[in-house]
Amino acid sequence: MSEDLLETFHHREEAILHSLLRLQALRHNYRAARLLTGETREMIYSYLKRQDDHFYTMMTEFYRDNRSALKMIEFLTVDIKEVRVATFAFFEQYGVANPLEQGRNFARDLRQYKELMINRFRIERDYLLPLLKRISQNSGQWLVGK
């Protein structure tokens, strides 16, 4: 697999986790934390956007004769949609434009959201990256430039 692709996933994951940890450090100061939510939101939206319908369609086409890989791709597709919904809901609730009083559950919701992202990254490392590795070894330059 192209080391560039592994590096890209790894660096984006690290940046998102670092940003979420910065928010978590301010979890009891919603006034300060919400000023950072826009940057974190954009970083995560950009990351999730890379795993769009085209991305999974290309994977499905590559693995069309591999039933177990297709099942995993189906799972990854459904899971990323759930992560997108949770991401939208979290940042809609705690964005800078919302009133300060909406922040009373911020610490709890941030902890749950951070766990969701950590689980997604774990799933990607364990299941998505091996699938991408095989594609990259065979033909997958379309992935590296994405």
- Please check the confidence at residue 8 and state whether its pLDDT lies above 90: no
Q: Which residue has the higher pLDDT, 145 or 104?
A: 104
C-alpha angle with apex 110: 17 to 5, nearest 5 degrees? 25
pLDDT, tens digit, 9 for 90 and up, residues 88-144: 999 998 887 776 667 788 999 999 999 999 999 999 999 999 998 888 777 655 454
- Output the furthest CA–CA distance in the chain (Å, rounded): 53
Count other C-beta atoms under 10 Å from residue 112's C-beta: 12
Token pair belonging to 38: 């826009």
User: Using one digit for the tens of pLDDT, what is the confidence trace for 18-74?
Assistant: 999 999 999 888 888 988 999 999 999 999 998 999 999 999 999 999 999 999 999
Which residues are within 8 A (CB) of 36 and not within 5 positions of it... i.e. 6 or more apart?
Answer: 19, 22, 23, 26
The domain segmentation of the chain, as residue ranges, is: 3-138
